[in-house]
Structure 1
């Protein structure tokens, strides 16, 4: 068992670069204004910035709002705002061809889509990478709480039944024990949203240290000790090789039969085969999944027909929700790039988040 990183954020199905206009800003970035210097006091040389692979007006304007000179990529380019996860290898080729690039802003909070690129910069050489980690906390946490209610109230089997149930069933969230795996921005927002239900919260994180609002904080080596006491388990950790199948047969067997499982992080955190078996055998109450492994699931996958499983097709945040948050992160990081050298959402290429 290895420690989970603290803050993922599910990527939307539609590309952010396709969003050209958004409505009024609904959400706030809890990390806005909380910039930090790069590790080891590294200084980033500022200069012109390129926005690729599709430089839509929303994000170009966000860069210019931070003072950027937005240009076509060239030998003079020093900053790069990259808006696609599906084209990671193209990004790698650009970085190889333009070694003068000092800083790269990535579009999502989770950076597992760039796992083929980041390790080559693990030694601290090459560009500084920043992500949107923490920026999407509010919409994702909102979705997590919605899934938690839906599983506890047994909405999935009820809506599938298509007949009046002879017995009233469902569990209340009030006073329950909720275990959250991960200690980043999404977890913090989930804790805040759960306050009215007077729940008891245990946070499982990779390193020791209290989490505001949690009643108890433990490290991942204590995960097995808290699962038997969990009424709900919410996964809000990043996906890395070390967290793959963090929840498998052994962990599911430790959960009580009335426990609800919610995953708004990455599908790979759960052993899908083990989950199918646990649901089929009714060893947990149900599962609310915004993410799956594989993703998307095949049309004939067993989880689609499992009556106590809700799948929401990676829609915990939508491009319309995340675009203004990313735009704000871009503006703030451009100011740091051109100014004091401090950034929000610095990525550790060695750790992969």
Structure 2
């Protein structure tokens, strides 16, 4: 058996149950070789725990997006995230946003009268997905029945199932013209902050929608407001914003061609069942000396 702690103290019982399900023993920090950290906000506390307990060799983080923890990453420990765990759930939301936006379903639902018809097909559309992880993989599979032409922009160029073209991140601007929709599904790093600004919006088609299920800071918010106000793009569906949440009265709240959900790609209802599988599996792998799932590249920061 392998000793694994759960933090911070007071974390829900399901996390400890997942450790036991993986064959591990739940212990205090000072006896643990592994640590399952459930809280996304208490980063300073995690740092103190790690400083005080050098015997912890592995840390499991609760989400796929781990930018808040990046300053803690080092090669002395093995770090894993929830990358891939919530991919299908977030991709499902992205698919709904594509349909809700491109077919104007959300805009129609806000009206109190009959309206003229608007909208373009998702069937046969050219869809660009920025990011090549679990969300992109799941979304590409979901788009297959729609007959979409899928292009993925990612850091490492490699073949992906259900994807027609894969290009490097440096080629983003070259694939925006002709795209009917762009989905942001990538990790937030110093290189991706503000990657969608007026320059990128000017390259997009006037009917194209942008969907962001990643992080709000990928998009320059003022430039998005400009693109939506001027009709430079067709619309935006945002599960994340910058700042988050947007303040009351912000123009994005009331735009007819924009709708916002409150960062619900994966909800609190989904987390226990989905993350428990990753925790239990990694506890088993740790005990067997096998490579863990969801490994974080400490140099890349995700």
The answer as to 2:11 corresponding to 1:61 is no
Give 1:208 deviation, angstroms.
Answer: 2.2
Question: 1:253-332 residue pairs with structure 2 within 5 A?
Answer: 253-332=202-281
In 2, Cα distance between equivalents of 1:347 and 1:207: 15
> Which of the residues 144, 163, 185 maps onto 2:113?
163
- 2:62 alignment partner in structure 1: 107
The answer as to 2:71 corresponding to 1:116 is yes
SS at match of 2:129: strand
Which has the bigger relative contact order, CA under 8 A and spacing at least 6? Answer: 1
The answer as to 2:115 corresponding to 1:139 is no
Give 1:213 deviation, angstroms.
Answer: 1.2
Give 1:47 deviation, angstroms.
Answer: 4.2
- 1:129 alignment partner in structure 2: 79
The answer as to 2:268 corresponding to 1:335 is no
Contact 2:2 2:23 (8 Å CA) reproduced: no
The answer as to 2:173 corresponding to 1:217 is no
SS at match of 1:318: coil
Gaps of 5+ in 2: none
- CA RMSD, aligned part only? 1.3
Moved over 4 A (4+): none
The alignment's TM-score, normalised by the length of structure 2, stands at 0.96
In 2, Cα distance between equivalents of 1:228 and 1:102: 47
SS at match of 1:101: coil
Number of aligned residue pairs: give it: 301
> Which of the residues 48, 53, 60 maps onto 2:3?
48
In 2, Cα distance between equivalents of 1:135 and 1:142: 13
- 1:70 alignment partner in structure 2: 26
In 2, Cα distance between equivalents of 1:85 and 1:168: 43
State the Cα deviation string for residues 181-239 of structure 1 (Å, max 9, x = none): 11111101101101111111111111222222111111122211110110000111111
SS at match of 1:115: helix
In 2, Cα distance between equivalents of 1:251 and 1:170: 22
In 2, Cα distance between equivalents of 1:81 and 1:112: 17
Give 1:145 deviation, angstroms.
Answer: 0.3
State the Cα deviation string for residues 119-145 of structure 1 (Å, max 9, x = none): xx1xx22x2111110011111000000
In 2, Cα distance between equivalents of 1:220 and 1:70: 42
In 2, Cα distance between equivalents of 1:297 and 1:230: 28
- 1:189 alignment partner in structure 2: 138
The alignment's TM-score, normalised by the length of structure 1, stands at 0.83
State the Cα deviation string for residues 29-48 of structure 1 (Å, max 9, x = none): xxxxxxxxxxxxxxxxx842
In 2, Cα distance between equivalents of 1:91 and 1:297: 28
Give 1:279 deviation, angstroms.
Answer: 0.4
- 1:85 alignment partner in structure 2: 40
State the Cα deviation string for residues 227-270 of structure 1 (Å, max 9, x = none): 01100001111111111011111001100001011011111111
Give 1:327 deviation, angstroms.
Answer: 0.3
In 1, Cα distance between equivalents of 2:211 and 2:11: 35
Gaps of 5+ in 1: 1-45
The answer as to 2:148 corresponding to 1:148 is no
Contact 2:103 2:118 (8 Å CA) reproduced: yes
